[in-house]
Amino acid sequence: MRRRFVLVDVFADRPLAGNPLAVFPQAEGLEESALQAIAREMDHPATAFLFPATLAGAAFRLKIFSREREIPFAGHPALGAHFVAAIESGLQLQEPVTRVAHEGHEGLVHVELKVELGQIEMLRLEQRLPETGPRLSAEEVARVARAMGLEEEEIAATNQPVRVVSTGLPALIVPVSTLDALANARPRYADLREILEGREATLVYAFTKETRDSRSAAHARAFDTVGSAEIPGAGAAAGALAAFLVSQAAVRVLPVTQLVIEQGHVLSRPSTLYAEVRVEGEAVTRVMVGGRVVRIGEGTLDV
């Protein structure tokens, strides 16, 4: 059976940047084992499969697979899937914002399409409200530093906690003092997997407030401990980091705090992620993460 896919780059302002994604817009009839095998064949950080929705208000049902497993929630596959679905379906785009949704593992997931001159300029994904784990002890932080190939002081000097934060996908947030230190990090994935055991997280999201672009709030690197690979643009983790920065008052906190996060430069796939955190009193009431999507081609698989 021939299956068509569309290739896009997410969090990219030009082709061959950002996080690559293969989207299968008509996946109906494919078995779970086939989805996993196709994701391995595509060999991207994630592959998105679109099925007919079963919930009212959903444009499609989304299933996401990495090379190794199904992922219940992720940022760049959701944004890329909606970009492709809107174009493929001839969706009537309303300016300045068209609101859509898809069916995820736990119900409807909402996405905004920012529209200018009849074209999708940017997409933003609404994430869950943040859930924050306990602060790691000094001994645990030392283990994290060793596992990432960092000096312990390069984390301690930030005066920020190391902890798991989730806005849909748990990530261990690790502050690093300088851009050079973060660029030189060399993770030992087996050690990181051992540290994360029992914490639900499988992703380490290390960041520094030293940035390449003065407009950015943070420069980040994402390490997937299951796949033992770095990810060039991690939308769900960026939402967790944005909530973390606001909760720590590590950025100027406003009722609506907007942040830019850089990622992917070490991999020569620069990614730009735009985060928004809304606060009422001391409570976070909304987390959004988005970016641009670039279509780079299409193809077919005979499976």
233-249: pLDDT as tens digits:
999 999 999 999 999 99
Fold match flag (2-126+292-302 vs 131-291):
yes
Residue 84 pLDDT greater than 90, yes or no? yes
Share of the chain above pLDDT 90, in %: 98
> pLDDT band at 34, cuts 50/70/90?
very high
Residue 52's identity, in one-letter code, is: P
Determine whether domain 2-126+292-302 maps to CATH 3.10.310.10. yes
Residue 1 pLDDT greater than 90, yes or no? no
Q: What is the pLDDT of residues 52-76, one digit of tens each?
A: 999 999 999 999 999 999 999 999 9
Which stretches does DSSP call E strand in the chain? Answer: 2-10, 19-24, 47-51, 61-65, 70-71, 97-104, 107-116, 119-127, 131-132, 163-166, 171-175, 203-208, 218-224, 229-231, 256-263, 271-280, 283-291, 293-302
Residue 175 pLDDT greater than 90, yes or no? yes
146 vs 191: CA distance, rounded Å: 9
35 vs 70: CA distance, rounded Å: 9
> pLDDT band at 165, cuts 50/70/90?
very high
DSSP count for the chain of H helices, then E strands:
7, 18
> pLDDT band at 206, cuts 50/70/90?
very high
Q: What is the DSSP letter of 136?
A: P
How confident is the model at residue 106, as a pLDDT?
87
> pLDDT band at 303, cuts 50/70/90?
confident
Q: What is the DSSP letter of 130?
A: P
How confident is the model at residue 20, as a pLDDT?
98
Residue 282 pLDDT greater than 90, yes or no? no
Residue 232 pLDDT greater than 90, yes or no? yes
Share of the chain above pLDDT 70, in %: 100
Residue 39 pLDDT greater than 90, yes or no? yes
What does the mean pLDDT of the chain come to?
Answer: 97
Q: What is the DSSP letter of 197?
A: T
How confident is the model at residue 64, as a pLDDT?
98
Give the dihedral of Cα atoms 32, 36, 42, 44; nearest 10 deg.
Answer: 120
CATH architecture of 131-291: Roll (3.10)
Residue 88 pLDDT greater than 90, yes or no? yes
Domain definitions of the chain by residue range: 2-126+292-302, 131-291
How confident is the model over 253-279, as a mean pLDDT?
A: 98
Sign of CA dihedral 19, 235, 170, 71: negative
- Categorise residue 168: left if φ over 0, alpha if ψ from -120 to 50, beta otherwise: left
Residue 281: count other Cβ atoms within 10 Å of its Cβ. Answer: 7
Q: What is the pLDDT of residues 125-149, one digit of tens each?
A: 999 999 999 999 999 999 999 999 9
Residue 227 pLDDT greater than 90, yes or no? yes
Residue 3 pLDDT greater than 90, yes or no? yes
How confident is the model over 28-41, as a mean pLDDT?
A: 96
